């Protein structure tokens, strides 16, 4: 009687462990799919892939411009902000080009090097842009990214999805997938050992 209860409990534990392993594998596959349709296209679409050194030539704040907070936004979401323009000397080619914060900055407003997030207080936006401009004037040389193919003459300060960020995004689903497969393998080994012991 006690032996039957132990066998039943063991089978229930194996079933739960197997469901856990299969659930982890399924979740990791969903995470792979989500990363593949969101982050990977932005990473492969970016042409600013080579890192070089940029030297600031001038950093000026122009008159206020209007820019929507996001694509397809309504008129009430359009807000004014000072337009910061940073021109740098590209060490790789010696050209004078315009610097943008990220790839998204160029798409949102090609006239400005920095596009702030929408803030209710316009003074905070102005102070932030002035701080960024002073930092560029203070730190004249810094790493930046350019397009080695020459399709884009501008450069960016940082990539939205760098190689390290992409690898980090794939790290968690990989660990979950490995853990799930390991649980399934251990359950199968346990079942095989149980059957072999019963047969002997």
Contact, 52 vs 99, CB < 8 A?
Answer: no
- Looking at per-residue pLDDT, the higher value among 29 and 188 belongs to 29
* One domain for residues 67 and 31: no
Lowest mean pLDDT among 18-27, 90-99, 114-123: 114-123
- Looking at per-residue pLDDT, the higher value among 93 and 147 belongs to 147
Phi, psi of 71 (to 5 degrees): -65, 140
* One domain for residues 143 and 63: yes
Range of the domain at 34: 22-42+164-199
- In angstroms, what CA-CA distances link 176 with 19, 90, 189? 14, 42, 20
The rounded distance, in Å, linking the Cα atoms of 108 and 183 is 47
* One domain for residues 72 and 141: yes
* One domain for residues 107 and 29: no
Q: Is residue 1 part of a domain?
A: no
Look at residue 34 in the predicted model and tell me its pLDDT.
92
Question: Residue 15 forms beta bridges with which residues?
Answer: none
Look at residue 2 in the predicted model and tell me its pLDDT.
43
Q: Is residue 95 part of a domain?
A: yes
Q: Is residue 7 part of a domain?
A: no
* One domain for residues 77 and 128: yes
* One domain for residues 34 and 88: no
pTM: 0.68
Number of domains present in the structure of the chain: 2
Look at residue 179 in the predicted model and tell me its pLDDT.
93
Q: Is residue 8 part of a domain?
A: no
* One domain for residues 34 and 75: no
* One domain for residues 137 and 153: yes
Three-class DSSP category at 59: strand
Contact, 86 vs 113, CB < 8 A?
Answer: yes
* One domain for residues 156 and 127: yes
């Amino acid at each position: 009687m006690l032996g039957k209860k132990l066998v039943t409990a063991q089978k229930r534990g194996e079933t739960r462990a197997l469901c856990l392993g299969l659930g982890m594998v399924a979740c990791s596959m969903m995470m792979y799919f989500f990363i593949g349709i969101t982050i990977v296209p932005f990473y492969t679409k970016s042409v600013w892939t080579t890192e070089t050194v940029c030297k600031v030539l001038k950093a000026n704040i122009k008159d206020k411009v209007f820019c929507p907070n996001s694509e397809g936004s309504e008129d009430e979401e359009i807000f004014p902000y000072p337009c910061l323009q940073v021109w740098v000397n590209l060490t790789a080619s010696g050209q004078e080009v315009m610097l943008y914060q990220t790839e998204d900055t160029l798409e949102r407003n090609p006239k400005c090097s920095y596009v702030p997030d929408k803030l209710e207080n316009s003074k905070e936006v102005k102070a932030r842009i002035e701080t960024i401009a002073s930092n560029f004037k203070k730190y004249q040389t810094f790493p930046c990214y350019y397009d080695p193919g020459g399709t884009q003459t501008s450069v960016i300060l940082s990539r939205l999805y760098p190689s390290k960020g992409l690898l980090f995004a794939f790290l968690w689903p990989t660990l979950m997938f490995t853990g799930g497969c390991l649980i399934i393998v251990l359950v199968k080994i346990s079942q095989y050992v149980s059957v072999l012991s019963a047969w002997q």
